[in-house]
């Protein structure tokens, strides 16, 4: 958008000035233009007229890391509450209007953020802008809505954690690895906290965090910049900025000895989950550890898959995961044993492979294969406007750099075997890991 067009737009906005914050590259062909409305709402626009569709994603800079003890799960509860009644829309009307418009909608919450996404035919964008502005500023929070959604979330927790073996393992692993930092508690919240939420808790959370100056709207697709900004000013200008709470979280102390937990679950085979403390997404070492993660479990030719499943036939499943978080996260290793294989046998093979990464350079061909898989994964996620908007919003919210996906791809392509040795020796150390050994309960054995 050129300066003359923005000046002409601002001349029509009755003092609600739109500020241009600059542009960022998004891959070789696309650009992201950054704007800020007078109330602090950030707007990131990526024009793409290849198809008559548009993705409209709203990212709030609040996740489970912002919750205090005794009130965990509030950020996730809002995923549900935000689809309820507003001052001008009775319950169900938000969804009904979007469905009539042919929209695809969803929402998600994690440690650092909450995300609402809508994709529609581009001629329906004005409707989406009005609806999103309405629920950002005029959500109705009364006891019936809160009680109803609390029950929905409690049932979700029972399904995903309490009655799900892998969900339960993951929750115990994170709660063991973190003792001070709020990444200790699960995003869905502890059950006692969910059951104890009051309507006033929800109002306080909404009034603290659902402010235009705590949000970023990412718009990708077939859209005209001037018309988009005019419609957004019309819809959002009435929402005042809030004084945002100061984040009050403790950094996680360095772990100096292994923590080991045994867990009994209704499963027919033993399992093991291991978590090593890992760097934050923006850390220099994160790309190297991401490549190591791919070397370990990226596809059937990866080291852990090859050893545990193909060669030794000890496991039915193995995977690893490196957290993409604002603060230092975890790199996790999970394996599910076959038949009577003990969790300790799985852990022994995992240890051998991790120790090998600290001792021997990864061959160049294996490094190149891992990087190629990661590039394919990134580019595959950018095939449509929804994927591009998610990627832009995620990197903007976590790192403050909306085009950082491609910076990260370049960083991974620069990773050398020396970088992998350094990352393995720094992070994959036994004294700074947590281990969960999973034994079958009597019910699990009978089920087998």
CA 362 vs CA 115, 375, 415, 427: distances in Å: 37, 19, 11, 16
Nearest to 43 by CA among 207, 238, 225: 225
Q: Tell me the C-alpha distance between 433 and 307, whole Å.
A: 22
Q: Token digits for 251?
A: 């950094």
Contact yes or no for 111/91 (Cβ under 8 A): no
CA 83 vs CA 145, 154, 299: distances in Å: 10, 17, 38
Catalytic residue status for 360:
no
Q: Tell me the C-alpha distance between 436 and 123, whole Å.
A: 51
Q: Tell me the C-alpha distance between 297 and 319, whole Å.
A: 5
Count CA atoms within 13 Å of residue 299 on its CB side.
Answer: 13
Q: What is the DSSP letter of 302?
A: S
Contact yes or no for 296/370 (Cβ under 8 A): no
Q: What is the DSSP letter of 309?
A: I
Q: Identify the helix (H) or strand (E) that includes residue 147.
A: helix 143-157
Q: Tell me the C-alpha distance between 230 and 216, whole Å.
A: 17
Q: Which residue of the set 47, 67, 79, 294 is catalytic?
A: 79
Residue 351, Cβ density class (10 Å: 0-12 exposed, 13-18 middle, ≥19 buried)? middle
Q: Tell me the C-alpha distance between 322 and 63, whole Å.
A: 19
Q: Tell me the C-alpha distance between 126 and 24, whole Å.
A: 25
Kindly report the backbone phi and psi dihedral angles of residue 411, in degrees, each rounded to the nearest multiple of 5, phi listed first. -65, -40
What is the Rg, in whole angstroms, of the alpha carbon atoms belonging to the chain? 24
Q: Tell me the C-alpha distance between 58 and 117, whole Å.
A: 6
DSSP assignment of 277-300 equals E---TTSTTHHHHHHHHHHHHSST
Other Cβ atoms within 10 Å of 300 Cβ, number: 8
DSSP H helical segments within 11-86, as ranges? Answer: 74-81
Contact yes or no for 150/202 (Cβ under 8 A): no
Q: Which residues are the active-site residues?
A: 79
């Amino acid at each position: 958008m050129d300066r003359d067009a923005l000046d002409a737009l601002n001349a029509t906005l009755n003092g609600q000035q739109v500020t241009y914050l600059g542009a960022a590259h998004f891959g070789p062909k696309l650009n992201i233009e950054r704007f800020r409305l007078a109330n602090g709402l950030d707007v990131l626009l990526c024009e793409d007229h290849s198809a008559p569709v548009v993705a409209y994603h709203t990212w709030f800079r609040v996740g489970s890391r912002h919750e205090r003890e005794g009130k965990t799960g509030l950020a996730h509860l809002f995923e549900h509450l935000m689809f309820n009644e507003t001052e001008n829309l009775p319950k169900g009307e938000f969804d009904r209007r979007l469905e009539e418009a042919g929209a695809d909608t969803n929402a998600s919450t994690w440690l650092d953020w909450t995300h609402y996404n809508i994709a529609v035919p581009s001629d329906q964008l004005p409707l989406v802008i009005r609806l999103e502005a309405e629920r950002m500023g005029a959500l109705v929070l009364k006891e019936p809505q809160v009680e109803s959604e609390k029950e929905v979330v409690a049932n979700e927790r029972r399904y995903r954690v309490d009655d799900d073996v892998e969900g339960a393992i993951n929750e115990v692993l994170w709660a063991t690895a973190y003792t001070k930092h709020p990444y200790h508690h699960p995003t869905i919240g502890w059950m006692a906290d969910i059951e104890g939420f009051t309507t006033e808790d929800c109002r306080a959370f909404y009034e603290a965090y659902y402010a235009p100056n705590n949000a970023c709207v990412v718009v990708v697709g077939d859209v005209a910049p001037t018309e988009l900004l005019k419609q957004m000013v019309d819809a959002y200008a009435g929402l005042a900025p809030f004084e945002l709470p100061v984040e009050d979280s403790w950094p996680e102390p360095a772990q100096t000895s292994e923590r080991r937990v045994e867990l009994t679950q209704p499963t027919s085979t033993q399992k093991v989950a291991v978590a090593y403390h890992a760097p934050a997404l923006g850390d220099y070492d994160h790309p190297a550890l991401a490549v190591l993660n791919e070397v370990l479990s990226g596809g059937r030719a990866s080291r852990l898959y090859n050893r545990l499943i193909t060669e030794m036939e000890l496991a039915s499943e193995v995977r690893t995961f490196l957290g993409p978080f604002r603060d230092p996260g975890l790199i996790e290793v999970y394996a599910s044993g076959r038949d009577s294989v003990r969790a300790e046998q799985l852990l022994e093979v995992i240890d051998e492979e991790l120790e090998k990464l600290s001792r021997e350079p990864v061959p160049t061909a294996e490094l190149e294969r891992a990087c190629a898989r990661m590039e394919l994964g990134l580019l595959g996620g950018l095939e449509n406007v929804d994927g591009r908007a998610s990627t832009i919003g995620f990197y903007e919210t976590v790192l403050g750099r909306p085009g950082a996906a491609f910076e990260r791809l370049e960083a991974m392509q620069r990773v050398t075997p020396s970088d992998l040795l350094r990352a393995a020796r720094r992070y994959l150390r036994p004294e700074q890991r947590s281990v969960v050994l999973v034994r079958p309960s009597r019910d699990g054995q009978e089920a087998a």
